[in-house]
Amino acid sequence: MHSNRLLRLVVMFAVVALLGVTLMVPAQRARADANAPRWTAGDFWLYVDVNNANNSVREEVIGRESVQTLLGATYEAWHLRQTATAGSFSLSSDEWIRDADLGLVKTSVTIFTITTITTYDPPQTQASFPLFALKSWGVTVTVAVKVGGGNPTNFTSTLSYQVDGEMDVSVAAGKFHSFSIRTLGTGAYTKLYYSDSAGYWSKRETYNAANQKTGEMDLVQYRYQWNNWTLAAIGLVVGVIAILVLFYLYRKRRQAMGQLGGVAGPRMAPPQYGPMMPPQQPPQGPPPQSPP
């Protein structure tokens, strides 16, 4: 009875593990919607200018924080440290972004001891997840800018975005299935290529009003700890272990079964034979007399 209960538990464990593997492995569809990233402190992305390798931008996730804008609103966002390098010159700045929609909440940069803070109410949504081709959205934000110890200056801006399409982007860091997000409007614009597997942009492009590319920053190195394939590998290992345990118990159960399918009883000891007895002799004397 105890063996049967254990066997059922192992079967249930194996089924759950295999279902987990199925759910964690990304669906292998030719075209799939992109979902929001799940950042972790320590994630980073390094981009290099394709026209000048001395120009780069590195963004690293510091941690999750509650951020208050200059207008008093509070948002939960990820603190990212951005380091831009141009030749021998380097400048660090901070930005706070929501991972749910890549909404820019706040930026802070210090130049020659003067800190400039810019906040956005509501956050400037850069990606409306899930992403799919031709999806569009817009957001009207109040931008507040404070330079040094001065008073904030506010203005309102309406921004519109559209997913131009999805494609495989090949950069130095690898090949990423990406969604091209374009800022709409007249004049110069930006294209951002979002990748599920990288957890952020696979590359960034800038264009002038004549649709001529003026710049491109490609992903050359990154670390994205929440990775579906990593989780799938863990789930697969758990599933394989469960199957091996199940097979082991099945073999043990078969060995305990009798030849005809019944449970084998206790082993019978081989018969014991004593010393040989002499053959019995026929009775002696005259044969018995029958009655008259």
Q: Residue 22 has what pLDDT?
A: 45
* DSSP-assigned letter for residue 172: T
Whether 127 and 195 share a structural domain = yes
Is the residue at 285 inside a domain?
Answer: no
Q: Quick one: pLDDT at residue 280? A: 60
Q: Are residues 22 and 87 in the same domain?
A: no
Do residues 61 and 166 both lie within one domain? yes
Same-domain status, 141 and 24: no
* Residue 173 near residue 221 (C-beta atoms within 8 A): yes
Q: Report if residue 281 sits inside a domain.
A: no
Task: State which residues form the domain around 4.
Answer: 1-32+226-256
Nearest to 204 by CA among 73, 94, 102: 102
Domain count of the fold of the chain = 2
Look at residue 131 and give its three-state secondary structure.
strand
CA angle 214, 216, 217 (to 5 degrees): 150
pLDDT of residue 117: 98
Nearest to 105 by CA among 93, 118, 116: 118
Q: 98 and 145: one domain?
A: yes
pLDDT of the residue at 265: 52
**Alpha-carbon gap, residue 102 to 125, rounded angstroms:** 6
Q: Are 208 and 214 in contact (CB under 8 A)?
A: yes
Q: Where are the beta strands (DSSP E) in 99-228?
A: 103-111, 114-124, 136-147, 153-171, 174-183, 189-195, 200-207, 213-223
Closest Cα partner for 61 from 30, 102, 28? 102
pLDDT value of residue 227: 73
- Ranges in the chain, pLDDT < 70: 1-31, 228-235, 237-242, 244-250, 253, 255, 257-292
> In the prediction, which pLDDT does 26 show?
44
Residue 178 domain-assigned? yes
188 in a domain, yes or no? Answer: yes
| 2 occurs within a structural domain | yes
